[in-house]
Amino acid sequence: MSSKSINLFVILAVLAFAPLCFCHKTNGGCLYPQFYDRSCPRAKEIVKSVVAKAVAREPRMAASLLRLHFHDCFVKGCDASLLLDSSGSIVTEKISNPKRNSARGFEVIDAIKSALEKVCPHTVSCADILALAARDSTVLAGGPSWVVPMGRRDSRSASLSGSNNNIPAPNNTFQTILTKFKQQGLDIVDLVALSGSHTIGNSRCVSFRQRLYNQSGNSQPDRTLDQSYAARLRTRCPRSGGDQNLFFLDFVTPTKFDNNYFKNLLSFKGLLNSDEVLVTQSKASRELVKKYAANNNLFFEQFAKSMVKMGNISPLTGSRGEIRKQCRKINS
Ligand code: HEM
Ligand SMILES: *[C@@H]1O[C@H](CO)[C@@H](O)[C@H](O)[C@H]1NC(C)=O
Ligand SMILES: *[C@@H]1O[C@H](CO)[C@@H](O)[C@H](O)[C@H]1NC(C)=O
């Protein structure tokens, strides 16, 4: 071979393996955006169109789908364990601590999966569907876009205890929440940026009632909650009853993905205790909140980065796990 053709050969070889060279290294393996380019070129567009229909029907669905990816990744990595229903030896994660047992959007994931199975059977993992749906939902709500690395495979088990222990509770302290993020390889910057998800979606009364009536067991409301906002919340979130009543996480722009969440926090109008502690319990975190409240672009940029980082938590790659045919159950 001439030196020219050797050069060409080297260039072609490098290009052929480019996806592998530039993959996102994770603690589970290697994910890359082109994963389905040959095996299911329409994968991304199919996911997007089903998500778009669902969000057009109900704007809140964007929030619900975004949250599913988070709840998946924090339990044994982004492996779609969250989607499994109870069956045989599997105990579903969907019944974890009642405070968090409000995950929804599973029918939309089913609809995406069945659309994909028609076009490329047994090819696209449920874990990758969750990652794509989270991105598409964010964009549809007006938030930033990012390129989604893929190649995750689906677990053959679920972890109810993992779900109870790893996902932060709304009444956890700042330190506890940060510790739970660090256990996943995420840092304080990721914590504050990703909490910005609470710029869309709803919470039930039961998730923040403690703040309104008896924050620290002394029958006093949370002093760090704006008192007129608290009074308004009490009208539909009584001392007892109304547990399932819904409230906007960001009451100013409830369905728009923007940095208004951080502005609310600075005026002590964060809905969840876990929101408000980002400004009341850590100076470093408060500085980040101030930055994102002042600069929407900065928030968007960091949110996109942190979503990719969260999506990289311990995926199953290569021949580990499987590609489920239905997201709710393991293959037989
Ligand atoms: C930092 C710790 C976090 C805590 C303590 C927390 C807690 C909660 C709680 C209690 C709710 C309301 C549940 C209910 O009562 O129905 C909620 C909703 C939500 N969370 Fe979080 N969350 C956290 C982080 C995150 C992250 C990292 C994301 C996404 C990346 C996220 C996305 C959402 C979304 C979009 C909703 C609204 C869901 C809907 O309307 O269906 N959260 N969260
Ligand atoms: C948080 O809420 C749970 C469930 O309602 C409760 O058992 C626990 O005592 C609360 N923790 C704190 C620190 O208030
Ligand atoms: C407030 O919480 C404390 C400790 O959880 C409890 O002993 C007390 O009865 C509660 N007070 C009211 C008014 O519910």
Whether 192 and 256 map to the same domain: the answer is yes
CATH number at 67 reads 1.10.520.10
160 and 185 both lie in a single domain: no
The one-letter code for the residue type at 175 is Q
Q: How many domains does the chain have?
A: 2
Boundary-marking domain end, from 104, 136, 167: 167
Write the residue with the smallest CA distance to atom 1 of ligand 3: 217
pLDDT of 1: 47
| Higher-confidence position of 60 and 7 | 60
Q: Look at residue 53 and tell me if it is in a domain.
A: yes
233 located within any domain: yes
- Please give the positions annotated as active site: 71
Sign of the C-alpha dihedral, residues 117, 120, 125, 129? negative
In this structure, the answer to whether residues 182 and 288 fall within a common structural domain is yes
pLDDT in tens, 218-272: 999 999 999 999 999 999 999 999 999 999 999 999 999 999 999 999 999 999 9
> Counting Cβ atoms within 10 Å, is residue 288 exposed (0-12), middle (13-18) or buried (19+)?
buried
CATH of the domain at 190: 1.10.420.10
Report percent pLDDT > 70 for the chain. 91
Whether residues 161 and 269 fall in one domain = no
Domain range holding 273?
Answer: 174-310
How far apart, in whole angstroms, are the C-alpha atoms of residue 242 and residue 94?
A: 22
Residue 122 Cα to ligand 3 middle (Å): 53
> Which pLDDT does position 83 carry in this prediction?
98
Interval between CA 67 and ligand 1 midpoint (Å): 6
DSSP for residue 157: -
In a domain, 1, yes or no: no
Task: Judge residue 277's burial from the number of C-beta atoms within 10 Å of its C-beta, 0-12 exposed, 13-18 middle, 19 or more buried.
Answer: buried
Q: Residue 88 in contact with residue 328, Cβ under 8 Å?
A: no
Domain boundary among 108, 133, 167: 167
Question: How much is the average pLDDT of 32-49?
Answer: 98
Q: Judge if 138 and 254 occupy the same domain.
A: no
Atom of ligand 3 nearest to the CA of 214: 1
* Protein residue with its CA nearest to atom 6 in ligand 2: 171
Q: Residue 266 in contact with residue 256, Cβ under 8 Å?
A: no
Judgement on whether residues 268 and 303 belong to the same structural domain of the protein? yes
Of 117, 96, 118, 114, nearest in space to 106 by CA: 114
Q: Domain boundary residue among 118, 152, 167?
A: 167
Nearest CA to ligand 2 atom 7: 171
Residues 246 and 118 occupy one common structural domain? no
Ligand 2 neighbours, Cβ below 6 Å, are 99, 169, 171
The answer on 122 and 87 residing in a single domain is: yes
The answer to whether 213 and 219 have CB atoms below 8 angstroms apart is yes
Dihedral (Cα; 54, 56, 59, 63), 10-degree rounding: 40
Is residue 128 in a domain? yes
